[in-house]
Amino acid sequence: MNRKQTLGRLPGYAVLNLWVLFTIVLVGWIVLASLSTTREIFTNTLLQSGLHFDNYIKAIVNHNVGMYFINSMIYTFAASFGIIVISAPASYILARFRFRGNKLIQSLFVGSLGIPQIMIILPLFYLASIMRMTNSRSLLIILYICLNVPFTVFFLLSFFATIPGSFEEAAAIDGCTPIGTFWKIIFPLAQPGIITVGIFNFIVLWNEFFIALIFANTSELRPLAVGLYTMVQSMRYIGDWAGMFAAVIIVFVPTFLLYIFLSKRIIAGVTGGAIKE
């Protein structure tokens, strides 16, 4: 029986392994190409003249990838932090208290998850231009925060709902203000959810493309994804394929590392966010 079962599973394993192998080869080849010369890439003789780490230096210095990287860091960290500061208190109120309009606010937030960016982008551009905020880092950070608040509020609802009310009562008896109670006691208790959604937002923002393409028009403001796009676009003039693959790896590595260390948490977050009772 057991042997039969193993045999029956062979096709399944074959398909899974082939799929995963393809992913590994796809990424692995890019890593090797990023350490070869452009000539070697085109003659299919990767790494023949040894490892060329200078591709990375060239990408970072000559192709501005270093600056894009710093921009991405600024946008991603500032916005991930801001999203939590705005979303966590709102989510707590919505999860904890019954009041008129609570359900309405929740459905508005959920509904906004279905609004495509193409529907909201034009007025946002108009607002930014009349406020003379186009081409500034703070504009992009503010947009990233606001755009991700509804999802984060929605995601955190179930985490705040499960914290027993006795914590607040005990804190109130000890003379702690409701606001103080939230930040000192409830917020730390909801940490598993906050960290999960924080990582999730981090990955989404790191990879964000459309908003940055429209609002970060100058080269000094571009995050990595847009920087890489403009680099690929001008590849026919630059001709530095090895440098381009190095840039791909520089974009790839941060979220990949996060994923390697935190895949369990990220996967639990994805399924937890999508499958709700």
Partner 1 sequence: MKRDNKMTVIFLTPALLSFCLVFLYPTIRTLFMSFFYVRTVTDNLGKWEFVGIGNYIKLFSSPMFRQSLVNIFNIWFWGGIAVFLVALVFSVILTSGYKGKSFYRAAIYLPNVVSAVAMATMWIQYAFSSKYGLFHSVFTFLGLEKAAAFQWTSPDNQFFAMTLAYCFGMVGYYVLIFMAGIEKIPVDYFEAARLEGANLFKQFTKITMPLMRGVIKSSIVMWSVTSIAFFIWSMMFSPLDPDVGTITPMVYMYNLVFGRNLTPTDPRLLNAGAGAAVGVLMTLMIIGVFGLVNFLIRDKKLQY
DSSP strand E in 24-148: where? none
Stretch that binds partner 1, among 54-62, 73-81, 83-91, 188-196 (CB under 8 A): 83-91
Alpha carbon 208 to its chain centroid, in Å, reads 7
Q: Cβ 117 to partner 1, closest distance in Å?
A: 6
C-beta neighbour count of 62 within 10 angstroms = 12
CB 35 within 8 A of CB 53: yes
Per CB under 8 A, contacts with partner 1 among 35-64 are 41-44
Q: Give the three-state DSSP class for 79.
A: helix
**What part of residues 146-185 is at the interface with partner 1 (CB under 8 A)?**
146-147, 149-150, 153, 165, 168-169, 172, 178-179, 182
Of 53 and 209, nearer to partner 1 (C-beta) is 209
CB of residue 220 to partner 1, shortest distance in Å: 19
Per CB under 8 A, which of residues 10..39 are in contact with partner 1? Answer: 12-13, 15-16, 19-20, 22-27, 29-30, 33
Instruction: Select the residue interacting with partner 1 from 35, 206, 222, 243 (CB under 8 A).
Output: 206
Question: Segment 226-265, which members bind partner 1 (CB under 8 A)?
Answer: 226, 228-229, 232-233, 241, 244-245, 248, 251-252, 255-256, 258-259, 263-264
**Residue among 248, 267, 266 at smallest CA distance from 198:** 266
Q: What are the start-end ranges of the E strands in the chain?
A: none
Shorter beta-carbon distance to partner 1: residue 28 or 192: 28
Task: Kindly report the number of other CB atoms within 10 A of residue 220's CB atom.
Answer: 11
User: According to CB under 8 A, which residues from 95 to 154 bind partner 1?
Assistant: 96-97, 99, 105, 108-109, 112-127, 129-130, 143, 145-147, 149-150, 153
In the bound complex, what is the minimum distance in angstroms from residue 267's beta carbon to partner 1?
6
Helices 54-61 & 241-274 angle (0-180, nearest 10): 80
User: Count residues contacting partner 1 (CB under 8 A)?
Assistant: 97
**81 vs 202: CA distance, rounded Å:** 9
Indicate the residue type of 227: G
4 vs 264, beta carbon nearer partner 1: 264
Q: Which of 143, 43, 150 is nearest to 91 (CA)?
A: 150
